[in-house]
Amino acid sequence: MRISIFGLGYVGVVSAGCLAKAGHTIIGVDIHPQKIEQVNGGKSPIIEAQLGELLRDGVENNRISATADCNEAIFNTDLSLICVGTPSQANGNLDIAAIRHVCTQIGAAIKAKNQQHMVVIRSTILPGTTANVIIPILEAETGGKVDEAFNLAYNPEFLREGTAVDDFFSPPKTVIGVLNDKAAQQVTKLYDGIDAPLIVTTIDISEMVKYADNVWHGLKVCFGNEIGNICQAQGIDSHKVMDIFCQDTKLNLSPNYLKPGFAFGGSCLPKDTRALTYQAKQLGLNLPLIESILTSNQQQIQRAISIISSKNKTKITVLGFTFKAGTDDLRESPLVELIERLIAQGYELKLFDKNVSLDSLIGLNKQYILNAIPHIDRLMVDTIDEAIKGAEIVIVGNNAQEFADIPSKIKSDQCLVDFVRLENTTHLKDRYIGINWIKDTQTNV
């Protein structure tokens, strides 16, 4: 494939060398004469293992060249990668001036070419930038519409400095965000022969994935450091602690606990987070990440309150209020706190949870719920149908199997507030509210 790469910085020049090695013909485009001269001379403008050799081989085999001429690049290629920088502004927002500038140039060149061209964004951009900035610029400059004058995709990179070449050929995943199947087929060809999960999705999801990845990496670094701070203050070997921690790939290093949903609760997580935070303070340590966990958890409960309040309804049913399905443990259940707060605000509640029987609760579990909701027995009903009858808002609080078909039971005058992401909710339209996900869950291209 003939490919032009706009921006010969870190991502652009690594992409150029690797794609040339894969057999593609590359024209690099940059505004800096020094970079153009280095690339044309087969030299790397950055220090990166293996890259110099790839660029030298690419130039010698007439697979890599560089220019400052946008028209030359567009006229002689079928697909363009945009890899220009998006640095931070003083206020934390991204500076996308280079994106705007290069899209203006590319759009004008496509118009002069008078032939459909494939544009692929590799630069890191905030969700919505492609739809709200890039497409409008390209449509204005080409004088045509996306999928007519040009096609478009977003293809985030997952390259680490120092191992970028290895990461290109052996990535954790390849993500391609597109508007149509034709774009998916074109961009997929770039990665023929690369053994990695290939994920084709929507453009907004692909934009967000890059940020989820990078912020998660930053979060892991800070978590490891804060655990290390506590360990050091007590003479504990922090690396041995985290070596053991990382051996747990069932819970610690896994998809578990990472899906958006409601707040956490139970007898362990809140208590142990508070205890470790307390100990850190006793040791004179400031651990802003760990200290913020319970605050963030509380905000999810407040989010649910705000959603319910916005509906201006008073009759509420809560289905499932133990801290998770398959248990009768009510201790520090965020759903119990939600119920408490709704009662305090004057809502009329009915509760159902087949695992909760006041007669069978014992010890701290019973003491907790009677202290939290003294008259809970007056609110509990025996069946799901009884609970739903007459309700204006139905809340599904945990993912017990008996709640799977609740969407089919919701009447035309009822709203469903979902904390667990139930299936088959499309027919409810605006009467369905996910706690932190959109109503339309269809993401296939």
User: Would you name the residues annotated as active-site residues?
Assistant: 268
Report in angstroms the alpha-carbon separations of 442 from 50, 128, 151, 426.
41, 18, 22, 10
CB 179 within 8 A of CB 203: yes
Distance CA 328, CA 323 (A): 8
Closest CA to 419 of 411, 406, 444, 313: 406
CB 43 within 8 A of CB 82: no
Closest CA to 4 of 97, 119, 167: 119
CB 319 within 8 A of CB 395: yes
CB 330 within 8 A of CB 369: yes
Letter for the amino acid at 89?
A: Q
